[in-house]
Amino acid sequence: MSDLNYRMKNIRDEAFKKKKEESNAIYSKMLKHKAEASARYGWDRIMEIISPDLRKRFFRQQQLLTNSLLENDPDEIIKQSEGMMRGITALVEYVSEQGFEELDPNIWITKHHKLGVQILIALDRDALAKCAAICQAEPPSLYFSINEIFCMVPEDTFDVKKRFKENFGDVRIVSRKPIDIDKESQRFIEDEILY
C-alpha cells in the first residue's frame, strides 16, 4: 500500500481521528507550557542561560517532535510532546537553580537577532528600574520603556492602523478550511533558477 493510501485510510478511521484529537490536545498543552516558561523567564534568555549539554539534549528532543509532526503519527506526537514538556520543565529548573529571577509580568524580553543583544521593554515605571538591573546583570542588554518605543514610531503608522480598523474592523478567524497544497500549487508558475 502506498504511503498516500495508508494516510488516507488512517484519516478515515475513527480510532485514528480520536488518537489525533488526543495528540493535538497534548501538543497544545506543550505549547502552553512553553509559553508559560517564556513568560516567566524569556525564551531567548532561557536558551542563553542553560548549559551546552542541556541545550543539545533539548534541541534533540525538539527535532524528535518535529519529525513526529512531519510523520503525522499521533502516538509519536504524544510521546515527543510529553518529552518536550519534561524538557521545558528541566530548562526552567536549571535557570531557577542558577539564581536567575522570573521576569516581572510588566517586562517583555526578546533578543535582537542581528545584533545579538537582549532587549527588555518596561510597561510601567516600576518595571523600568528592574529592566536596568537586569541589563547590568546580563550584558549585552538594552532596555526601553514602552512610551519610548511609541515615541519612535512615526505618527503615520498609527493613522494607517486606524484607517485599516475603520475599513476592516476587528478581524478574527472563525474557521479554517484545509486546502490541498498540491492542487493549489499547480495554479502558480514555477520558474527555473538560472545559474
Please state, rounded to an integer, the average pLDDT across all residues of the chain.
Answer: 82
Grid cell 542563553 — which residue? Answer: 48
Listing DSSP states for the chain in one string gives --HHHHHHHHHH-HHHHHHHHHHHHHHHHHHHHHHHHHHHH-HHHHHHHS-HHHHHHHHHHHHHHHHHHHHT-HHHHHHHHHHHHHHHHHHHHHHHHTTPPPPPTTEEEEEETTTTEEEEEESSHHHHHHHHHHHHHSSSEEEEEHHHHHHHS-HHHHHHHHHHHHHH-S----------HHHHHTTS--PPPP-
Dist. CA 2–CA 6, nearest whole Å: 6
Provide the CA 1 distance to its chain's centre, in angstroms: 37
Dist. CA 165–CA 158, nearest whole Å: 11
pTM for the predicted model, two decimal places: 0.60
Digit-coded pLDDT (tens) for 39-48: 888 888 899 8
**pLDDT: is 89 or 102 the higher one?**
89
Q: What is the mean pLDDT of residues 105-132?
A: 87
Digit-coded pLDDT (tens) for 7-66: 555 666 778 888 889 999 999 999 999 999 988 888 888 998 899 999 999 999 999 999
* DSSP strand pairing (141-145 vs 117-122): parallel
